């Protein structure tokens, strides 16, 4: 079974042409626009440094969609130690980097629809071949996001996520 490209939204009653299978957080939760241009802080689409002391990598929490070949993806930020960040950065463009052991980190994105917060969930960050974002493996806890990553989600849950994210003021 494949996911169709559109859906009738129960929040606004309109047909949306696309059912998004991916959402990305633009920056770690600790980033603020005032940091842009600061000499010790930088944000790119892949990495972030805050005040020369906090180091983050953009990775993917991949969640299988049950009864399909599709994957739902959260683009999130993971904090790494200085040493892990330095090693990952050194190997960023190196073929074979995917053979590196995973890097321990803390989830540094607050996904707005999960209770309790997703901030500071324990993770392992797995590098993949050059050009592909790392995969974020959550510690197997009872947190709803970790459970979804382990067990998968239904097509109905994907639609529910889309409705909650497209209409944040209209939570069900």
Give the pair of three-digit tokens for residue 75: 């683009």
pLDDT of residue 30: 95
pLDDT of residue 1: 38
pLDDT of residue 3: 56
pLDDT of residue 5: 65
pLDDT of residue 19: 87
pLDDT of residue 50: 98
Residue among 72, 64, 59, 80 nearest 137 (CA): 59
Q: What residues form DSSP beta bridges with 73?
A: 22, 62
pLDDT of residue 10: 76
- What per-residue string of b and e applies to 135-153 under the rule 16 or more CB within 10 Å gives b? bbbbeeeebebbebbeebb
Q: Where exactly are the structural domains of the chain?
A: 26-153
CA dihedral 50, 100, 96, 62 (to 10 degrees): -70
pLDDT of residue 166: 83
pLDDT of residue 39: 93
pLDDT of residue 17: 85
Which residue's entry shows tokens 């999130």?
Answer: 76
Write out residues in the chain with pLDDT < 50, as ranges. 1-2, 172
pLDDT of residue 15: 82
Stated length of the chain: 172
pLDDT of residue 103: 98
């Amino acid at each position: 079974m494949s996911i169709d490209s559109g859906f009738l939204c129960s929040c606004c009653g309109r047909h949306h042409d696309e059912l998004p299978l991916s959402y990305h957080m633009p920056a770690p939760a600790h980033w603020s626009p005032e940091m842009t241009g600061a000499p010790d802080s930088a944000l790119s689409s892949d990495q972030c440094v805050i005040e020369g002391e906090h180091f983050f990598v953009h990775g993917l929490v991949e969640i299988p969609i049950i009864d399909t070949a599709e994957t739902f993806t959260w683009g999130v930020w993971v904090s790494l130690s200085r040493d892990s960040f330095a090693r990952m950065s050194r190997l960023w463009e190196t073929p074979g980097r995917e053979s590196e052991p995973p890097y321990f980190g803390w989830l540094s994105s607050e996904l707005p629809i999960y209770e309790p917060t997703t901030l500071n969930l324990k993770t392992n960050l797995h590098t993949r071949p050059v050009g592909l974002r790392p995969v974020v493996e959550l510690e197997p806890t009872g947190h709803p996001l970790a459970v979804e990553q382990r067990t998968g989600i239904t097509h109905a849950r994907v639609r529910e996520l889309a409705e909650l994210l497209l209409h944040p003021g209209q939570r069900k």
